Amino acid sequence: MSIKSKFISDDLKLGFNDVKIIPIKSKFESRKLINLQTEYTFPRSKIKWEGVPIIAANMDNVATFDMARALQNYSLCTAVTKFHTPEDWIDGILTGISLDYSFCTFGIESISSIETFFDSIHAKTNIIPKIVVFDVPNGYIKPFHKIVTQFRKKYPSTGIIAGNIVTAEGVQILADCGVDAVKIGIGSGSACSTSSVTGVGYPQLSAVLECAEAAQREKIFTVSDGGANTSGDISKAFIAGANFVMLGGMLAGHEEGNSETVLKDGKIYRKFYGMSSSEAMVKHYNEIAPYRASEGISTLIPDKGNVSNTIDEILGGIRSTCTYINSSNLIEMRNKGKFILVKTS
């Protein structure tokens, strides 16, 4: 066995911090001239979508219906967690939740349980969710491919985002299942401990660059999920080829996440934990299955108040990136943005 055969390539794989975006001559002197509203036609379901392609991650204390209500005012999306019931969806829809911006999340369920879920919503509202997110930590497993394929057959005109994967092989497998978009990211989430628990992971920027190239060949979209800690990271993800960027930690700690507040040393904090953490497993399944290790962390983050302040900052930051690279919108930004490697240590 050669040492070389133990590595897939000689490339160094990069995270967001390993690069910076270089400025170019620009005609946009003000952020006011930048429009982040983006129009997409989903490649398989043919859904027409228009909005700011940022999605609140399907995590407790992040992707609630209150968050969805707040974010849709900015035409941002929410992957509402799978722990919401059809009744929650019915209430949400009847009280003005937009299905353009609120996505329904599933893991590995049976197709019949999904049909029942949708039928219950349809019976009371006459509609079903427009876009679904199939989310598992490891998007390389067969039962996941089976349910996504079955769903696509049953619901040909519903948008499907599925993941997570981090390689061109993963993109190809999910494209064959009929997805509109692959969700990219393993080991890079802010509440994720997969890389230390299992040793598995892929630096997020390289994962997006490589998967976006593969997705372009398959004519499907990409969602960068995990590892964005600043608006600059979000801009880097778009430039690397993401059609959407999903955010967990950046949208945690807000009132709209409805988490408990904790008073510590005179300061208000809010809970944030990974969906594979012991805390999440105990909360949703009352136990940690004996064969499972926690792959997520629990933490307290300082209360960030109303999410609108954070959104204004994020969108302002991305608009500012656009002014540096002569781009009036995200599509131009993706085409014109270029990186340089930087030394991070």
Supply the residues annotated as catalytic.
192, 194
By CB under 6 A, name the one of 34, 133, 177, 246 that touches ligand 5GP: 246
Q: With beta carbons less than 8 A apart as the criterion, state whether 90 and 66 touch.
A: no
Q: With beta carbons less than 8 A apart as the criterion, state whether 105 and 82 touch.
A: yes
Pick out residues in 41-70 that bind ligand 5GP (CB under 6 A): 57, 59
**Listed ranges 21-29, 43-51, 154-162, 244-252: which one lies at the site for ligand 5GP (CB under 6 A):** 244-252
Q: With beta carbons less than 8 A apart as the criterion, state whether 175 and 218 touch.
A: yes
What is the maximal distance between C-alpha atoms in the chain?
Answer: 62
Angle between helices 86-94 and 111-125 (to 10 degrees): 30
**Listed ranges 86-94, 153-161, 187-195, 331-339: which one lies at the site for ligand 5GP (CB under 6 A):** 187-195
State the minimum distance, in angstroms, from the CB of residue 135 to ligand 5GP.
7
State the minimum distance, in angstroms, from the CB of residue 326 to ligand 5GP.
28
By CB under 6 A, residue 185 contacts ligand 5GP: yes
What gap in Å lies between CA 322 and CA 302, rounded to an integer?
30
Q: With beta carbons less than 8 A apart as the criterion, state whether 63 and 248 touch.
A: no
Pick out residues in 73-102 that bind ligand 5GP (CB under 6 A): none
By CB under 6 A, name the one of 43, 129, 296, 337 that touches ligand 5GP: 296
State the minimum distance, in angstroms, from the CB of residue 280 to ligand 5GP.
6
What the block records as the tokens of 294 is 């926690």
SS3 state at 217: helix
State the minimum distance, in angstroms, from the CB of residue 62 to ligand 5GP.
8
Binding mask 119-138 for ligand 5GP (x = CB under 6 A): ------------------x-
What gap in Å lies between CA 242 and CA 151, rounded to an integer?
24
